[in-house]
Amino acid sequence: MPKLTVKDGTEIYYKDWGTGQPIVFHHGWPLSGDDWDGQMMFFLSQGYRVIAHDRRGHGRSTQVSEGHNMDTYAADVAELTKALDLKEAIHVGHSTGGGEAIHYAANYGQGRVAKVVLISAVTPLMVQTAENPDGVPMSVFDEIREGTATKRAQYFQDFTIPFYGYNREGAEISQGIRDNWWRQAMMGGIKAHYDGIKAFSETDFTEDLKSVDFPVLVLHGEDDQIVPFPISGAKAVKLLKNGTLISYPGFPHGMPATEAATINKDLLAFFKS
């Protein structure tokens, strides 16, 4: 299994397949690079080089107790992209991974990043504050922390239902998709998952979004129950100098898995544009 040892000794697991223009996939909380299977296989078949890493403390990477914040996440990605000598790369982030991708691109992307895609991303800021009154109340994230800390296995089972919109009337529930989410989540460390809640909910990505010049595609489901579209994708695109938004009526937070064919088609069109 390929792993990169970063400056603080943490081992970051990654997959690196194919040749061609590189695409780096950034997974969401509390998952792993495996969450991109449907995209990795598709874009590999389209002639791209596809890379997916497990964030520190997640998946097969080291279960460290520290560094579970966006600055360190982005620094880890910077070390990985440098080690793999990735240039003109397209960075695709889902949920928390969207925050990681834009934070990396804004701080380390010069000369290395061609485009960025934010899918169901936590940008610009999730939590409700005086300056962000439409945000999600802190009590919601406190509940996620409590569930993660005290009953993680069952809490994560239950979390898959709103994540994929399986509580909606007429939803076709895939037990395999639910099981795969839980499998990935339980591979990671509870400390990383607990600390990661603060990282994805309280990091303000406004300046990152404003600072980037390269093309950014924002994809968001209008029925996202985890990262509501009006406070995220709809706002993020307005902060970008070169942003494009595609919103999908009825699509859930986990749409790269449930709606892979549609998402892959729109990604490919953006990559080739």
H/E stretch holding 122: none
The active-site residue, picked from 61, 95, 120, 201, is: 95
End-to-end CA distance of the chain: 34
Query: In the annotation, is 253 catalytic?
Result: yes
157 vs 67: CA distance, rounded Å: 26
Per-residue pLDDT in tens (0 to 9) along the chain, 273 residues: 699 999 999 999 999 999 999 999 999 999 999 999 999 999 999 999 999 999 999 999 999 999 999 999 999 999 999 999 999 999 999 999 999 999 999 999 999 999 999 999 999 999 999 999 999 999 999 999 999 999 999 999 999 999 999 999 999 999 999 999 999 999 999 999 999 999 999 999 999 999 999 999 999 999 999 999 999 999 999 999 999 999 999 999 999 999 999 999 999 999 999
Distance CA 231, CA 170 (A): 26
Give the model's pLDDT for residue 160: 99
Instruction: Answer for the pair 214, 116: CB distance below 8 angstroms, yes or no.
Output: yes
pLDDT for 59 equals 99
* Residue pair 173/257 in contact by the 8 Å Cβ criterion: no
Reported in sequence order, the residue ranges of the chain that DSSP labels E, i.e. its strands, are 3-5, 11-17, 22-26, 49-53, 89-94, 113-119, 216-221, 243-248
Count CB neighbours of 199 within 10 A: 22
How many structural domains is the chain composed of?
1
CA–CA distance, 47 with 45 (Å, rounded to integer): 5
Provide the pLDDT for residue 44. Answer: 99
Question: Is 134 a known active-site residue?
Answer: no
List the CATH number of the domain containing 177. 3.40.50.1820
Catalytic residue among 201, 208, 224, 232: 224
Residue 29's domain comprises: 3-272
Among 53, 91, 193, 253, the active-site one is: 253
Q: Across the chain, how many H-helices and E-strands are there?
A: 10, 8
Q: Is 204 a catalytic residue?
A: no
3-state SS class at 156: helix
